[in-house]
Amino acid sequence: EAIRLGDLARQLGVKVQELIKSLMQLGIMATINQSLDIETATVLAEEFGYEVEKVGFSEDEFILPKEEDNPEALEPRWPVVTIMGHVDHGKTSLLDAIRESKITTKEAGGITQHIGAYYVGTDRGELVFLDTPGHEAFTAMRARGAQVTDIVILVVAADDGVMDQTREAINHSKAAGVPLIVAVNKMDKENADPERVKRELAEFDLVPEEWGGDTIYAYVSAKSHSGLDDLLEMVLLQAEVQELKANPAKRARGHIVEAKLDKGRGAVGTVLVQEGTLHHGDAFVCGLYHGKVRALFNDRGKNIKSAGPSMPVEVQGFDGVPEAGDEFVAVQDDKVARRIAEERQTKQREKDLAKETKVTLESFMAAKADEEVKSLNLVIKADVQGSLEACIEAVRKLSTDEVKVEIIHGGTGSISESDIMLASASSAVLIGFNVRPTARIKDIAEQEKVDIRFYDVIYQMVNEVKDAMAGMLAPVV
Ligand code: GDP
């Protein structure tokens, strides 16, 4: 915040020389083109008998809150899909297989570019795949407030079945409320056992339709490309049920799925447009940065003029490299964009200094005071399966009519970055039982403002959770 001396003089209706003289008396040597900080300007204005009123700046004036669109303005949009699953079960192979087999010759002209997401056209409909598979990226984005995925494809290798990261993927998509379709992969393998996969997944409420459940299963081989059509058809059917729609006729809003500093082109970011249409020349704000759309490229490297809902598009014209998950909002003009970005950077600096924690066992009540049934979300990591089950059992029993204990995820092994992201995205407290954090994990937890509690005795954990819940129930008025 600063004001030029000349502008201040004009506003006060005095000569600049007089201001310079007064400043000298205050011990400040100034020239006409100099800018003064607000404090100095205030003192100076008071010298001349004025009172300075601080007019707050609110970006809400310019970035309007998301509001319900008139139903008539809504048009169908393509589903956006993320592939998840255990390592080596074939996520990357499946993404590649779909990309190779489905990018039709209709779209000729242009070579596939890796921009973070790609478009697929089929006879049955169109969809978009995010290029970073796995629940880590998915939840990291969610922790930043970005939900771009409409449907999750859970890949499970038919010769291996449900593994640790399969379970994590299930819990991460459940926590996000995103519907899930199972792709049983590696069906070409001799020892493929899809029945076993179904049995194991049924334990997680992913009961196949043929067994009376409502989970869609597809059987594929990323290697031989078999079953891909079927899988895509299932995804499109699921999308139809969800009736995905957006209003293309307004200023664009979306999220960054990937960004980088390009030698020749400066900062570029791939925006997944979620509503409105982004045009060449639009001014925008994105995270702490701003800019003006200088060029738009699709995933075929084609220079395009505009991008509507569900379109991933590489944008050139950022004044800094944004982060995956940052919200991207087109605004009325450059000036507003710059102003908002400056304001955000100031706020960010203040926040970095304050470092408050998102949810702690103690702060829980205050945050949820106005809700009827409060829920205390927990992510629990324990050393072994036995103690994990004991922990879950013990805290689950603490649920009452007023406070529900919700186990967002339970797993064994050390606390990982994705556990922290899940806790952050779900406003959960992380509990470590018989596990110790590394320095890096502590840092990330601090950055993400997640409260981690460590215990090695169950009753201690139970008592503290109970106390926290009781505290919640008895607000001191
Ligand atoms: P990711 O870690 O989940 O991304 O798994 P990858 O896509 O990297 O695949 C792991 C390994 O499984 C690689 O050696 C792939 O060639 C192999 N693989 C993936 N899909 C199939 C499949 O459908 N059949 C067979 N036989 N092998 C596959």
pLDDT of res. 442:
92
Q: Which residues are annotated as a binding site for GTP?
A: 85-92, 131-135, 185-188
Residue nearest (by alpha carbon) to ligand 1 atom 9: 90
Residue nearest (by alpha carbon) to ligand 1 atom 11: 88
Ligand 1 nearest atom to the CA of residue 133, by list position: 4
**What 3 state SS string does the chain have?**
CEEEHHHHHHHHCCCHHHHHHHHHHCCCCCCCCCEEEHHHHHHHHHHCCCCCCCCCCCHHHCCCCCCCCCHHHCEECCCEEEEEECCCCCHHHHHHHHHHHHCCHHHCCCCCCCCCEEEEECCCCEEEEECCCCHHHHHHHHHCCCCCCCEEEEEEECCCCCCHHHHHHHHHHHHHCCCEEEEEECCCCCCCCHHHHHHHHHCCCCCEHHHCCCECEEECECCCCECHHHHHHHHHHHHHHHCCEECCCCECEEEEEEEEEECCCEEEEEEEEEECEEECCCEEEECCEEEEEEEEECCCCCEECEECCCCEEEEEEECCCCCCCCEEEEECCHHHHHHHHHHHHHHHHHHHHHCCCCECCCCHHHHHCCCCCEEEEEEEEECCHHHHHHHHHHHHCCCCCCEEEEEEEEEECCCCHHHHHHHHHCCCEEEEECCCCCHHHHHHHHHHCECEEEECCHHHHHHHHHHHHHHHHCCCC
- List the pLDDT tens digit at each of the 477 positions of the chain: 677 888 888 878 888 888 888 888 888 887 777 778 777 888 888 888 877 665 556 677 666 666 678 888 999 999 999 999 999 999 999 999 998 886 554 555 567 788 999 999 988 899 999 998 888 889 988 888 889 999 999 999 999 999 999 999 999 999 999 999 999 999 999 999 999 999 999 999 999 999 999 999 999 999 999 999 999 999 999 999 999 999 999 999 999 999 999 888 899 999 999 999 999 999 999 999 999 999 999 998 999 999 999 999 999 999 999 999 999 999 999 998 998 998 888 888 777 666 555 566 655 555 555 555 678 899 999 999 999 999 999 999 898 888 889 999 999 999 999 999 999 988 899 999 999 889 999 999 988 889 899 999 999 999 888 887 776 554 433
Q: Which residues line ligand 1 (CB under 6 A)?
A: 85, 87-93, 185-186, 188-189, 221-223
Ligand 1 centre distance from Cα of residue 116 (Å): 20
For residues 356-394, b (16+ Cβ closer than 10 Å) or e, as one string?
eebbbbebbbeebeeeeebbbbbbbbbbeeebbeebbee
Crossing angle of helices 38-47/5-12, nearest 10°? 30
Which residues, other chains included, contact 352 with Cβ-Cβ below 8 Å and sequence gap of 6+?
none
Max CA distance (Å), the chain = 91
Residue nearest (by alpha carbon) to ligand 1 atom 2: 88
Q: Given ligand 1 and candidates 82, 83, 88, which is best to mutate, with the most ligand atoms within 8 Å of its CB?
A: 88
Ligand 1 centre distance from Cα of residue 128 (Å): 21
What value of ipTM does the predicted structure carry?
A: 0.99
Is this structure's pTM higher than 0.90? no
Residue nearest (by alpha carbon) to ligand 1 atom 24: 186
Ligand 1 nearest atom to the CA of residue 87, by list position: 2
pLDDT of res. 360:
64
Ligand 1 centre distance from Cα of residue 92 (Å): 7
